[in-house]
């Protein structure tokens, strides 16, 4: 019976696309990647090309919980006012960073 319930739960989870655990994170990670690279990356790369220069950032620079914390209070970020992205776009970026976080299901590649 437990197995049945679990299977039913699994089906529900897929149906609503909240497999990553948070209902709000239903953005498109690929669009998020594109936006991240456009908006955030120029300042958050090894040799920053724009001001204000920040530390290197990629999805795996933080854990999932840490990314959630960042996006909970996103207006507090010093670079927030420089962004040109709306709420929807933010969700895409958050989804991208969350899915690739250090403790996400990051795979080893073969060979």
Partner 1 sequence: MKDGKNNISRRGFLKSSVAAAAVGAGINSPLVKGLVPRAHASGSRPQGEVTSQYTACDMCFNRCGMIARKQNGVIKKLDPNPNCRKSRGMICAKGNAGVQHVYSPDRLKYPLMRKGKRGEGKWERVSWETALDYTAEQLLKIADEYTPCGVMFTPGVDSQSRFVQMFCDVFGSYNYTNHESMCLLSRNRAYLDTFGEVPTGDVLHSKYIIISGSNPMEAIMTPDTIDFIQAKKNGCKIVVLDPRFTKTAAIADEWHQIRPGTDMAFFLALSHVIVKEERFCCPDKTYGYDQFVEHIKDYTPEWAEKECGIPAEDITRIAKEITEAAPRAMVYPGRRSSDYEGSTQIMRSRAIVNVLLDNWDRPGGLMASREVGVSSPDYEIPWIPENPPDRVDAGVVPGLFNHVGSFQIMREAIIRQEPYPVRGWFSFKTNFMQTGANRQKTIRMLENIDFFVNIDIMMTDSAWFADGVLPGNSFLERDDPVHALQGSSACACAFIREPVIDDMFDSRPPLWIIKELAKRMDLEHHFDFTMEEFRQKQVKDLEGALEVMRQDGIYFNPSKAYGIYEGDPMKTLSGIKELYNQRYEQWGIEPMPVYSPPRNPRDDQFRMVVGRPAFFTQSRINNELLTEFMEENTLHMNPEPALKLGLEDGDMVEVESSAGKGRLRLEIDEGIEKQTVYMVTGFGALSPQMSLIYNKGASIAEVLEDERDSICGNMAMHETFVNVRKVS
Near partner 1 by CB under 8 A: residue from 48, 61, 63, 90: 63
Q: Does 110 bind partner 1 (CB under 8 A)?
A: yes
Q: Does 90 bind partner 1 (CB under 8 A)?
A: no
Burial class (CB in 10 A: 0-12, 13-18, 19+), 104: middle
The DSSP result for 29-70, as a single string, is HHHHHHHHHHHTTTTSSSS--SSSP-----GGGS-HHHHHHH
Task: Give the phi and the psi of residue 108 in degrees, each rounded to 5.
Answer: -85, 145
Q: Toward partner 1, which CB reaches closer, 33 or 94?
A: 33
Q: Does 12 bind partner 1 (CB under 8 A)?
A: yes
Q: Does 19 bind partner 1 (CB under 8 A)?
A: yes
Q: Which residues bind partner 1 (CB under 8 A)?
A: 3, 6-7, 9-10, 12-14, 17, 19-21, 28-31, 33-35, 37, 63-64, 99, 102-103, 105-111
């Amino acid at each position: 019976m437990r197995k049945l319930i679990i299977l039913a739960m699994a089906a529900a989870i897929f149906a609503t696309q909240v497999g990553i655990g948070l209902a709000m994170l239903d953005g498109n990670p690929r669009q998020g990647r594109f936006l991240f690279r456009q908006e955030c990356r120029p300042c958050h790369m090894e040799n920053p090309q724009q001001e204000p220069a920040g530390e290197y950032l990629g999805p795996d620079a933080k854990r999932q919980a840490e990314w959630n914390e960042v996006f909970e209070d996103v207006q507090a970020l010093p670079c927030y006012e420089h962004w040109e992205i709306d709420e929807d776009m933010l969700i895409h970026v958050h989804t991208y960073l969350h899915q690739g976080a250090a403790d996400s299901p990051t795979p080893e590649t073969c060979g």
